[in-house]
A and B are shown apart, each in its own frame.
Chain A
Amino acid sequence: QLQLQESGPGLVKPSETLSLTCTVSGGSISSSSYYWGWIRQPPGKGLEWIGSIYYSGSTYYNPSLKSRVTISVDTSKNQFSLKLSSVTAADTAVYYCARPDRDGFQIDYWGQGTLVTVSS
């Protein structure tokens, strides 16, 4: 059974860079034609797609965040990572890593989510 687990600091200062890693277990991140993605949810609000990456390194980002987002993959560690620069309080959210289905792009696997608070 595929499992995804987010890790990283729960508190980030304004103007700094948020960094999270998603560790995939129960399957290889590079063994099949899947993209791997990040989604966030501010407290009490809805879901926002941040971006996705293919194991080869091809990336797609939400245009509203593109200037601040970098997603990378480390196939040797079966991990992919998110960096969001110049954060503000508006970036406070639960961050989920996820795997969309390769045909219909519905998200059939989610991490448990990790709350990142931006505060000094």
Chain B
Amino acid sequence: EIVLTQSPGTLSLSPGERATLSCRASQSVSSSYLAWYQQKPGQAPRLLIYGASSRATGIPDRFSGSGSGTDFTLTISRLEPEDFAVYYCQQYGSSQRLTFGGGTKVEIK
């Protein structure tokens, strides 16, 4: 079973700052199967990035994903007030199995 570890657990930043979120896998993950989501309180997660670096429909270009193998990164270039939320990475293994990281909370400093 592949385990995804996200860091930091909480990121305290101000609007306009750059956010860098990490997702580390316990084994190598195909970049094709690595996604990032944003979740706000009381809402379902929203797909941001798929295939490690492709933005989902309607996602602003301040969101970008990168990485390969076991290390993946979500970068928010300039935080907007609506970006303060919890972010999850997710990977697909075999047999339809999906695994999520524990999440990173981006909070207002």
Q: Which residues of A contact B (CB under 8 A)?
A: 35, 37, 39, 46-49, 51-52, 60, 62-63, 96, 100-101, 103-108, 110-113
Contact = CB atoms under 8 A, between A and B. Distances in A.
Interface stretch (B10-18, B73-81, B94-102): B94-102
Interface residues of B, number: 24
Contacts of B44: 96, 110-113
Select the residue from A46, A52, A100, A112 with max chain B CB neighbours within 10 A.
A46
Contacts of A111: 44
Contact of B98 (A105, A110, A112): A105
B32 A107 contact: no
16 contacts: A46-B88, A47-B88, A47-B100, A48-B100, A49-B100, A51-B96, A52-B98, A100-B92, A104-B51, A105-B35, A106-B51, A107-B37, A107-B45, A107-B90, A110-B46, A111-B44
